Structure 1
């Protein structure tokens, strides 16, 4: 992926030296409810690659609802060190998403608001509750921030079998896709459905939300390539492989040897690659109507 020398975003917060309290699997409070080890493990199996809110699955497993988590105080963040190559990569990809989505929104008579991207280690407070590295990258609509522990990229490469810089860029673009959904009001509509439908029905809606974020990541890739020619040989295959490796069916097979389709929250490997490719080929946000699609 060609990214070095391109613009870096100013919207990166570095909390990696804040001592976030660790990211262990011991039970902890979440939205006023206590989640034990078993519930967290099940949530991670279903949602290793977390999207709009890493607490959603845990909330559902604990019965849903509960008091809204309070925004926790955080020391002032600072920018990453200038010589941190991985942080530079993340800041450059984020800048590229900013450029793409500003253009898309402007073309449709709207204004895009940049999200913040937070680098952390172990755990960090968010407007959605305590975020933990073990949950994978995620987006919190409450503070409009993307959160990522960069160690996830080693997990992506070594444990999930998805190496490559463009695979890493796809991860960021997917989370920014959730930010786009938030700005468009799609995320709020999803939240309104919680408690009104069964868990299985809500899971099915969550799949459509996640596949749409995959499609929006594809839209970004299409437009970034057209504007800045960022792709090199093998990049598309790298992103497709990443999408496939984090499908619900693939993750469940690795974790437990079998799949439970009604528990899917992100979509199968085939669905994730299909919708990323839909966005990639069309470069049009209108092609990403997963909620109106008869077949995913």
Structure 2
């Protein structure tokens, strides 16, 4: 998992929630040293959608120049492997539309994820000769898969399912529907941030010897404090250093509370350890 990649996904604008969810899950699979090449089955499972729906969202991301899909071939067996995904933030990225025309694009094989998807003329899939991925807009016979309703997908239902499943059962509320209603009131970017930082919030609450309650996390947007957050110590408290944007706020707060001598001691120490990322006054103002 690359936090830089998932943070980049969150910052993208103009995408429908389901498309943005696909981008986030792709980035969640990105390894800065090895790349990103999840199988079709795995990615579709992560996003809670069929492979045909998944490929429609991947097409959108590629057309918008956010990703490029490249075919991989095993050098020994010459068999096609799962698709490699290249992101716009990576060095040397070239859009598929700039690389070569795409009228002969072939979707990945529905069983294995094999196949060229970046405008290159492919070899047939080693298992199935030709791709059989559905076009959900033109195929009269739809595959018997369970799809989320369009309204639910727009509302971020898939994102909430991941959020709910990743939350510790001990601290889940009794009524899933009530929690989902609160989740769906968040903006698209907040929904993605809530999912991404749920694990870190629960970890910190354990260190703080406090329960990780879902409703306060969502209603008070506690995940916002974990976006590009400073490091924490073994007690789950934030370590604020002079290079952090929170430093000047906290130094002013310490000066106000304890006087100039204490503030000067903190400057020499070059570190403030606090329970909240920002002073209470800053949090309320935000």
TM-score, normalization: structure 1?
0.22
Which of the pair has the greater relative contact order for Cα pairs under 8 Å at 6+ separation?
A: 1
Greater share of residues in helix: 1
Rg larger for: 2
